Amino acid sequence: MQAPAIQAVIFDMDGILIDSEPVWQQAEFQVLHSLGMSVSREAIALTTGLRIDQVVDFWLQRFPEVKVDPQYIADQIIAAVIAYIRRDGKPMRGVVEALSACRSRGLKVGLATSSSWDIIDAVLGKLAITEAFDAIQSAQDFPLGKPHPKVYLSCAAKLALAPSRCLAVEDSFNGLIAARAANMQTLIVPAAEQRQDPRWAAAHYQRDSLEALPTLLDTL
């Protein structure tokens, strides 16, 4: 069956617009170890794409002996990430061109992220791309973040479009699950070291960077 015509592109943020996933993982690693949670960097990758409260809950369930306020842990991780973004944040390869390609083709542009509003503000401000988006949605507003589809469904509603008319651009499996559950077309742009992950077969399309988005849009 031919896919429906795409009328909007909805971007994830961390790992798609800005190279912040390694920073999230480093901040998570440092904060957790400082609290006595001996986690590996490989295990931390399992939380990619999750909302911060889900990340903290994930680890506290595995280290029940650690009696620390979950909000304190979340605040420490978020503060470290925001500090990095404001100091060294850089766009991922092809971001500016991808946003321009959406505009030149008359597509609406959305942002659907598990990150909180303060991180969204830091990223969009640092990259100076706030005005590029017709709708912005944080999973902070809902009981559940990705892989629950609510953040994508809400963004599509803000764009006044059926989810099936949207192409979601993701880099994580949790995000991909959320977008598929929202009945969107999906483009996965994984980190270089994860490109061979067989789970990406769940996506409609896979590319190495956003530089490939303009050409892909011309085929949809």
Cite the active site residues.
Answer: 12, 14
Q: CB within 8 A of 183, min separation 6: which ones?
A: 163, 164
CA angle 214, 217, 219 (to 5 degrees): 120
Task: Provide DSSP, 74-93.
Answer: HHHHHHHHHHHHHHH--BPT
Sheet holding 108-113, edge to edge: 135-138, 108-113, 8-11, 166-170, 185-188, 205-206
In whole angstroms, what is the distance from residue 170 CA to residue 189 CA? 6
Beta bridge partners of 135: 110
- Asked if 24 contacts 81 with a C-beta cutoff of 8 angstroms, the reply is yes
C-alpha 174/C-alpha 48 separation (Å) is 7
Helices (H), 145-217: 150-158, 173-181, 213-217
Closest CA to 180 of 198, 195, 194, 200: 200
